[in-house]
Structure 1
């Protein structure tokens, strides 16, 4: 960590998707009263009270998974000597070296806010319960068990929210956002390792006439059945996503130009020979293979140009950009 970031006038830390601390600057260490070795690889929730863990799960995780960032969240950490540290928390989810990382900045606040009052009230109630009789201690154990259950439910909810955020609701495939994240990941990987990967864009031929003739419910059924067919024809490591409308995209890690053409032809042939209810449809496909000078945008443009060529040369065919 460079000196400017380490000694910045605000706390900084980076955590994994699972909440493990990967990096922390000296400013935040001083604010919390910890040494660096005491926090690295520990869970971020180890610096929180029970009430703040619940608050963190209820607001921070869902927002970061759904929107990719959290802005101006009022929050409190627990210092090493047990004191509350009110902060203004900002976070953003990034992809670094192929891994999801959440970068956070914490600015110490002088005034307590309404959320902190609620947290302090809960803290005081817990302290009273701990000081009461064995019966009260037993009730606290029951409350703690309920909290653990709620925490597990929240974690499961967060996982479902993350899945919903990356899934197309109609077809069940991954959505455009997820595809773009994976395209960036494989582009960076290929730049570093020269590993081959290819991209296909498939478009249903004359899809508008299906909607116009049979109605949108039948059109939706065609999209759903085709999505299932493309997924079944794809290798396990492929990423199949709905790009929008009647367009689908397939990322094919490890496949060069010749292999990508063969895979695209399998998609085309399987679609042509597989009845979708009472209908038979065809698809046109454009393919492109990553080269050293390519970017995410240029690779998409190449596949799109190849698709345009397939459409203008009779449809129901496969074209690779380099051809």
Structure 2
């Protein structure tokens, strides 16, 4: 492989018509953490998730076979650590000494919005090119419509997959993965601006008794109803998520210790006043407000300690970690 191609500022992978990797540059290997022998002579789909294999089969192969090229395909590949890395892929088919080869250039995408912006820019460039080539307008318009349709289908599928990946199936709230991302974002804003925020862990009191007495189906209904209660009473800027089991969490931006305690107390009362299918439900809450030494893990631990204090002091109460340490 040419030295410049080997260290080009983007990934390069060459595959056969069947998808077997025949060549790969060092840039792609470094980016994904693989050694060359781990990819060469392996199927490119071996580093794809099931969803991305579907995208590859429903879009990449038909376009290569029909037009000999693929432009701006958004696809995610798994690195050596099994982490998902998003790429924009451009591919071209040609014959080398009678053997069909497909060259693929992969540009890593950092943010989905960057991808969408690049698609809009590419679309405008294509439209400008169409106006400059009036003699090929009819054929190019047909190709353009097909690309737009496929891109729209791809973006819809990606949006659906992203939403599913961050949503708790039972309650419809955001899941722990989404919560962790938002907590990291909030910490970053805090260290930049100094604007306080608080974290509330909410736990259903005696939830095991609900399952033991009424069954797990009723327990699931209680979890769903509590999720709706949190959604109704949380502020628009708050993030409500399910940590797991009967534990829920709220991220409260621009909220100090006193304010967060009032918000948690209002939620506690709202739960008491809610009509439950099994009589009454109460919750205990633990709160921590960020300080300069906090990481996501330490803030979560302090909120959990405050929750434990609420449980130890009789449940159905709100405790801020500052009250525990006095």
TM class by shorter chain equals 0.5 to 0.7
**Pair 1:11 & 2:12 matched:** no
Q: Deviations over 1:273-321 (max 9, x none)?
A: 1112243200000000001111111100000000000011100000000
How far apart in 1 are the matches of 2:292 and 2:185? 15
Stretch moving more, 69-78 or 265-274? 69-78
- CA distance in structure 1 between the partners assigned to 2:264 and 2:206 by the alignment: 19
Query: Per-residue CA shift, 1:103-154, capped at 9, x if unaligned?
Result: xxxxxxxxxxxxxxxxxxxxxxxxxxxxxx99xx867755643442232122
Per-residue CA deviation, residues 196-247 of structure 1 (Å, 9 max, x unaligned), is 1000000000111111111111111100000010111111000000000100
> Could you tell me which residue of structure 1 aligns to residue 76 of structure 2?
60
TM-score in terms of structure 1 length: 0.64
> 1:236 and 1:71 mapped to 2: Cα distance?
30
Partner of 2:131: none
Counterpart of 1:223 in structure 2 is 223
Q: How does 1:161-180 map to 2 (within 5 A)?
A: 161-180=161-180
Aligned residue for 2:201, secondary structure, equals strand
Q: 1:147 to 1:100 in 2, by over 3 A?
A: closer
Contact residue 205 and residue 316 of structure 1 kept, 8 A: yes
1:159 aligns with 2:159: yes
2:181 aligned with 1:181: yes
CA separation in 2, counterparts of 1:298 and 1:91?
32
Counterparts of 1:61-80 in structure 2, within 5 Å, are 69-70=84-85, 76=91
Classify 1:72/1:149 alpha carbon distance in 2 versus 1 (closer, same or farther; 3 Å): closer
* Structure 1 unmatched ranges of 5 or more: 1-7, 14-26, 29-48, 79-83, 103-132
Unmatched 5+ residue regions in structure 2?
1-5, 12-26, 29-63, 94-100, 116-134
Counterparts of 2:107 and 2:85, CA distance in 1: 5
For each residue in 1:169-202, what CA deviation from the matched residue of structure 2 results, as whole angstroms up to 9, or x when unmatched?
1111111000000100111111111101000000
Contact kept in structure 1, 2:168 and 2:175, CA below 8 Å: yes
Distance in 2, matches of 1:203 and 1:231, equals 15
Q: Distance in 2 between matches of 1:138 and 1:100?
A: 31
Q: Write the distance in 2 (CA, Å) between the matches of 1:292 and 1:138.
A: 62
How far 1:52 sits from its partner (Å)?
2.1
How far 1:159 moved relative to its partner?
A: 1.1
Q: How many residues align?
A: 238
Correspondence for 1:44: none
Q: TM-score, normalised by structure 2?
A: 0.63
Q: 8 Å contact 1:74–1:86 — kept in the other structure?
A: no
